[in-house]
Each structure stands twice: as structure tokens, then as C-alpha cells.
Amino acid sequence: MSDPTLPLPRALVEAAAREGRTAWLTTLPGTVARLARTWSLTVGAPFQPGGQTAWVAPVRDRAGAELVLKVVWLHPEAMHEVDGLRVWAGNGAVQVYAADESSDTNALLLEHCRPGTPLSARPEPEQDEVIAGLLRRLWVRPPAGHGFRPLQRMCDQWADEFEQRLASEPHLLDPGLAREGIALFRMLPGTAERQVLLATDAHAGNVLSAQREPWLLIDPKPYVGDPTFDALQHLLNCAERLHADPAGLTGRMADLLELDVTRLRQWLFARCVQEAPDCPALAAVAARVHIA
């Protein structure tokens, strides 16, 4: 079962200190011990350096099967992860076998990806193909009566935060570029031809090698909306190619994903503008992919 002196990953400890969640960390040993009893688990040491919002460790169930226990402090990005994984049911993403939610914590019992090498260890052209193949499978129609949030809500929230930031620090970005980009960021979700279940954080660091399938997505942040949005995080993570040839990279991913390249360029322009206050180099990318 769980050791009362529960090891804590470095990244989680540092993030908890920044976010005022150190009290939550003190509850982790008891939470892990309770889950180990409930699900009959033998718990191993957590993965290092770990994520910033979750304690994640390899476990074995009563039958000896290798699984992963993920214990997450409740925050907006963690909403509906379980629901999304259940809809996908292992089709391109890890399987979820059990879940538990309390007032401040989500816990998931997940498939263990073996060998678990991140896709980011592979050359980027290969990453393009794997990400595209997974996303095309994940883009399913959400079930009737679903509770997933609309992409519009996230984009509006990010746009509000962007405008508040620029109001206090107007020097961060060209005013004309800022107005046009953030207006497009608000507008695009409402003009999509189809609405599908999105991962929203699909990039090579969130895809692991596995045995059941060659590659599986982990850590989705599900929303419902325009599939074109889902290509953006991978594009942003391919920073060197994005800055060198944004049009070429956008065209390649549009082809692989069977998306309209003009719309993907519009989304990339808008997202680069939205990210530019924290990553000034993306303003130059935005200017290069801008479609008048």
C-alpha cells in the first residue's frame, strides 16, 4: 500500500509553492493510501520530475497488472479529463479504468504506457505524422447531453486576459496587430463547420510509446469545438521550424490533418498574437502568417 512518507516530485512541489497549494500536498499521503485500499493497489515511487498539478506513479493491482495512478489538484484545465478519456475508450488515448473525485482532488487509474518514451524524443517530421494520426481519430462527435465546455468559452477567457494585460502594458505588442489577432481569436470558434471533441493540448510531450498501440495521448484537456484549433499546440512546440518557415509547417500539418490551410493559418496568426505578450518572438510569426 502507500508509504506515509510519500515522495513528492520536484515539479509538483515547486508548482504547489507558487500556486499556494502546499496544504493540498499535505493531504496527498492520506489520499494515495485511501485510493490504494479502495482499488487494491501497490504503489511505486512517483515519476520524476513530474508534472505541475498532479502526483503520478506506477502501481500494480491485485492481479499484478501494471497501471498508473494520477492524483490531480482540481483546477480548470483538469475538468473533464476522465469524461474525455471515457468517450475515446482507448482509441488513440490511454484508457481510464477508475476515477475518484473529492472537493479538491481528482484521481484516475490509467493504462500504463510501456516503454513510455515521449514522442518528443523522435524527429519532428515523425512527430507531425503521429500527432496528425492521433488527432484525426480523437475528433469524434461528442455524445448527446455531454458536459464538455465549448472552445468559445476558453478563447473568450484567454482573450479577456490578453486585453487586460495589454491595457496595463500596451508596449508589449503593436496595437493594430493585437486588435486584429485577438478579434480573430474570439471569432474563429463560432465559425467552425463542425464541432468535435478536442484534446486542446496535443503535443509530442503528451504522447507516449505503448504496447497496445505504438503511441497514445495522455493528459488531454477536453473541449468541444473547431478541430483546426487542436493543431496549434504542436505547431507552437515545433519552435525552430515554426520561426524558420511558418507557412511551410502550417501547410504540412494542414495536409496531414486534412484541414483547410487558410483556416489553420488564421488560427495560428490569432494564437501567436494571443501568446505574444509572454513570448515576444511569436509576434514575428504572426506577422508572417497574417492573411489580410
b or e along 113-148 (b: 16 or more beta carbons within 10 Å of the residue's beta carbon)?
A: beeeebbeebebeebbebbbebbeebbeebeeeeeb
Q: Are 148 and 83 spatial neighbours (Cβ–Cβ below 8 Å)?
A: yes
Cis check: omega of the bond before 49, within 30 degrees of 0: yes
- Active-site annotation holds for 278: no
Helix (H/G/I), strand (E/B), else coil: 108: strand
Residue for cell digits 464541432? Answer: 195
Among the listed residues 128, 160, 146, 291, the one whose alpha carbon sits nearest the alpha carbon of residue 225: 146
Q: 198 near 81, Cβ under 8 Å?
A: no
Catalytic residue (one of 83, 128, 201, 230): 201
3-state secondary structure of 150: strand
281-289 vs 246-257: helix crossing angle, rounded to 10: 70
- In angstroms, how far is the first alpha carbon of the chain from the final one? 61
Phi, psi (rounded to 5 degrees) for 67: -135, -175
For residue 98, the cross-strand partners are 109
Would you call 15 helix, strand, or coil by DSSP? Answer: helix
Name the burial class of residue 165, with classes exposed (0-12), middle (13-18) and buried (19+) by CB atoms within 10 angstroms of its CB: middle
Question: Which has the closest alpha carbon to 246: 215, 208, 290, 278?
Answer: 290
Contact indicator for 277, 162 with CB cutoff of 8 Å: yes
Q: Which residues are catalytic?
A: 201
